[in-house]
Amino acid sequence: MAVLCWKSCTRRSELLRPLLSRHFGCTSKLHQIHSNSKSNRTPDNNSRVSSLLPGQILVGPPHPVSNIRPIKFYIPSDETSIERKYRELREHAVTKDHEFWLDNNTRFEQGKAEFERHATVTKGACTLDDLSEYFRQYQVDSFGRHLEYNRYVWRRNLAMVWPGLCAWIKDIRRRKRRRMDALARHSEQSYFDQQESSESVVAERIQSTGPNNVAGSEKGAGADCQKEGPLAKQAKPESLDSDVDRRAEKIKSYY
């Protein structure tokens, strides 16, 4: 009985596959993009492991023309094939959105500049009424492209539902261990090493001079800072600047 049910399900899937590929045309393209995702774990993933924590997404500044923000997703060290497939689908979606709006906005600006130049030559100036006419004509001309793009977005989002659900289930099983591994990896950075070195210096001072002398020196330093006034307050922004520099270096490593 189980064998008959399996054969009937297989036969139905074979019959439905052409229908789905015809109505959801992006599935065949997505299959070509991820045809190499056959292994359960990625062999070359260690070189692409991100320094983000699980669940974090790095969002960059918007593009000056397309206004689309580049996005970098978290890549675990033990990323499975279904998780990689879903991540690459999301990266591909961001890329396609950037390409479409880059082309759309470029066409719009070029057409607007040409229209303003023509209106200036013929009428002497380009008024807001003239620009409204250009906007109306541009919407009519680009209606087909935008309609095709919206249909593609719907097909793409529907094709990402099942891989996203499977990747979410895989992530739930490994979330706690991945977070602990990411925190351990962050603790090995030089920022924490500097904190440990400063703590070791304080411990050595306590052993050599005693806790009373250390407390007295701290009080003396506090009194000196109160006397100095603005000079003592300038020490805090330096630490903040170092934190900003570290974040900037982290962002530059992605883009």
**203 lies in a domain?**
yes
Burial class (CB in 10 A: 0-12, 13-18, 19+), 238: exposed
**245 lies in a domain?**
no
Per-residue model confidence as pLDDT tens digits over 36-94: 444 444 434 444 555 677 777 889 999 999 999 999 888 888 888 998 999 999 999 99
Are 142 and 173 in a shared domain? yes
Are 12 and 95 in a shared domain? no
Are 19 and 114 in a shared domain? no
The tens place of each residue's pLDDT in the chain, 255 residues long, gives: 444 444 454 554 454 454 444 444 444 444 444 444 444 444 344 445 556 777 778 899 999 999 999 998 888 888 889 989 999 999 999 999 999 999 999 999 999 999 999 888 888 888 888 899 999 999 999 999 999 999 999 999 999 999 999 988 888 878 777 777 767 766 666 554 555 555 665 566 666 665 555 455 545 555 444 544 544 445 445 555 666 565 665 555 544
**241 lies in a domain?**
no
Helix (H, G, I), strand (E, B) or coil at 199: helix
Q: Which helix (H) or strand (E) holds 71?
A: strand 71-73
Instruction: Retrieve residue 202's tokens.
Output: 């304080």
Give residue 237's pLDDT.
52
**118 lies in a domain?**
yes
Are 162 and 92 in a shared domain? yes
Look up tokens 């397309």; give the residue.
Answer: 66
Are 44 and 169 in a shared domain? yes
Closest CA to 163 of 33, 44, 43: 33
Are 173 and 219 in a shared domain? no
Are 8 and 92 in a shared domain? no
Closest CA to 245 of 178, 188, 191, 172: 191
Q: Are 102 and 64 in contact (CB under 8 A)?
A: no
**61 lies in a domain?**
yes
Closest CA to 166 of 54, 222, 87: 87
Instruction: Retrieve residue 47's tokens.
Output: 């070189």
**Domain extent for 21:** 1-33
Are 125 and 201 in a shared domain? no
Look up tokens 């593609």; give the residue.
Answer: 152
